[in-house]
Amino acid sequence: MQAWLDSLRTLVRDPSSNFAALGTLITIVVILVIVLVLVMVAFSLPVRTGQTVGESATQATPRARRANRAVAWLTGLAIFVIGLGAAAALWYQATSSNEYCTRTCHAMAEPSRTWEASPHASVSCVRCHEGVAWTSMGTGLYRRSRSIYYQISGRRAPRTTVPQTICLSCHEGLLDDTLTARNGEQFRHRDIVEPDTDCASCHGPQGHEPAR
């Protein structure tokens, strides 16, 4: 928690120190303000009360008044949902860059260093840990929110692994290649890989292992 506060103070003192984090904060604030303004406007708009000519608004039937309130609430809810979706999309975009992953979170200092020296340095953080950008937005938002929770609470985050499906989305062609193991035996990955096999259990942390 203290590290987060220190990072926030640094960002306030020098906004140029982390444009990704600054953009995220500005985006969230702007979206919340827009949503608040739109909701206030929706509740202040005049609505049809169903009264006849010469009938005042106070004389409208209870049914008409309930309908008015329902329309106002539904309008406000729709605006809120749209605003929330837009905020989520903008937050996802702002936190999907390698710069954000490697410079914003203090806990990523060592993983960032090993990633930059690894054989997978040309692969983005999101591509390995979440999958293809945007198509994995739901998973990405969940994991990022969970990461923030563990950082703020000070609890130790559980170990995460790269799913086999993500590894194979790039390396599927290797499944049928005949390879030679260190003991001289030949094998194919397709013959030994099970659906729940963790690639890192054999190959180690390839994304954060120094190139050899």
Domain ranges of the chain: 1-45+65-95, 108-211
For residue 80, the Cα-to-chain-centroid distance in whole angstroms is 19
Torsion sign across C-alpha atoms 180, 182, 184, 187: negative
- Length of the chain as a residue count: 212
Nearest-CA neighbor of 151 among 201, 107, 115? 107
**Per-residue confidence (pLDDT) for residue 188, from 0 to 100:** 93
d(CA 74, CA 42) in angstroms, rounded, equals 10
Tell me whether strands 186-188 and 178-180 are parallel, antiparallel or unpaired. Answer: antiparallel
Q: How crowded is the C-beta side of 199, counted as CA atoms within 13 Å?
A: 20
Buried b (16+ CB within 10 A) or exposed e, 125-145: bbbbbbbeeeebbeebbeebe
Nearest CA among 95, 102, 170 for reference residue 134: 95
pLDDT at 177: 92
pLDDT at 23: 61
SS3 state of residue 45 = coil
Place of tokens 């293809």: 132
pLDDT of residue 19: 55
What is the pTM assigned to this prediction?
0.63
Question: DSSP for 78-129?
Answer: HHHHHHHHHHHHHHHHHT-SHHHHHHT-GGGHHHHHHHHTSTTTTS-HHHHH
Q: What is the pLDDT of residues 5-24, one digit of tens each?
A: 666 676 666 655 555 566 66
Query: What pLDDT shows up at residue 18?
Result: 57
Residue in this structure with the two tokens 């499906």, named with its chain if needed:
165
Q: Pick the closest to residue 148 from 114, 94, 104 (CA basis).
A: 104
pLDDT at 53: 45
Q: Under DSSP, is residue 116 helix (H, G, I), strand (E, B) or coil?
A: helix
- In the predicted model, residues of the chain with pLDDT beneath 70 are 1-8, 10-25, 27, 41-60, 105-107, 210-212
